[in-house]
Amino acid sequence: KAGVTQTPRYLIKTRGQQVTLSCSPISGHRSVSWYQQTPGQGLQFLFEYFSETQRNKGNFPGRFSGRQFSNSRSEMNVSTLELGDSALYLCASRRSGQGGHDTQYFGPGTRLTVL
Amino acid sequence: SQQGEEDPQALSIQEGENATMNCSYKTSINNLQWYRQNSGRGLVHLILIRSNEREKHSGRLRVTLDTSKKSSSLLITASRAADTASYFCATRYFGNEKLTFGTGTRLTIIP
C-alpha cells in the first residue's frame, strides 16, 4: 500500500506570494491533518479534515487554509507569504479519525522557503 | 502551543547502550504516541500507549506511561547507528482528534 505523498517536496517563494501544497493520503484513510514544523516553534497543528469537513483547527492566522476533496486528497494554501512561514509542512492521514487510537501516518513533507 | 516537554533535549550514547527519553504533558490524555524523525524528513510512528495502559513493548522499544505524573518514557535497548534521529512524543486529548507534539529529543548513536 502506498504511503502518504506530498507535492511538491521543495518550494521557494517570495514574500507576498501564495502557495498551495498537496497531500494524497493512504488509500482508505479519510482523515488528513496538516502540521507546520519550524526550529523555533517545533511541530504545530494546523488543521484536520475528515470527509471533506474541517474538524479541528490550530492557532494559525486566516492566511492558512485548507480543503479536502471527495477522494480524501487535501490541499493547504498559504496566502500573502511571510518570512516566518518558511517551514517543513507535514501532512498525515489516518483511517477513521474517530476514537483517537488509530495510527497517524506522515508524509515526507514539503519544505517551503520564503525569501 | 506545545503540550509537552521532552527531556533531555539531546542525548549521545555509544552504540549498543540503552537510550531513555522522557516526555511530560500538561492535561489528561486519551493516548500518547512516540514518533521518530530523521533529518527533517517525515515522522515515523513508533508506538501508541493508551491512557489505561502502563507499559508497552515493540521490538527494542519500551514505553511507559504514568498518568498520575503526566509523564512517559521511551527506552531504546541495544542502540544502533540507525537509531540516530529526533524522537517526539505526541498526545491526544479526549474528544479532540489532533495530536500535540512535544519538543523532541535529538538522539545520536556513536558507532
**For chain A, how many residues are written?**
115
**Chain A closest CA to B41's CA: distance in Å?**
5
Residue among A42, A48, A109 minimizing CB distance to B42 = A109
Backbone angles phi, psi at B83, to 5 degrees: -80, -10
Q: What is the pLDDT of residues B23-75, one digit of tens each?
A: 999 888 889 999 999 987 889 999 999 999 999 999 999 999 999 999 999 99
Burial of A72 (0-12, 13-18, 19+ CB in 10 A): buried
Would you say the C-alpha torsion A110, A112, B2, B6 has a positive or negative sign? positive
What ranges in B19-110 are assigned the alpha helix state H? none
pLDDT for the residue numbered A44: 94
B30 touches chain A (CB under 8 A): yes
Question: Rg (Cα) of chain A, in Å, rounded?
Answer: 13
Amino acid identity of B3?
Q
Q: How many CA atoms lie within 13 A of A3 on its CB side?
A: 14
> What would the grid cell of residue A90 be?
507535514
Instruction: State mean pLDDT over A75-102.
Output: 89
Q: What is the pLDDT of residues A29-74, one digit of tens each?
A: 999 999 999 988 899 999 999 999 998 899 999 999 999 999 999 9
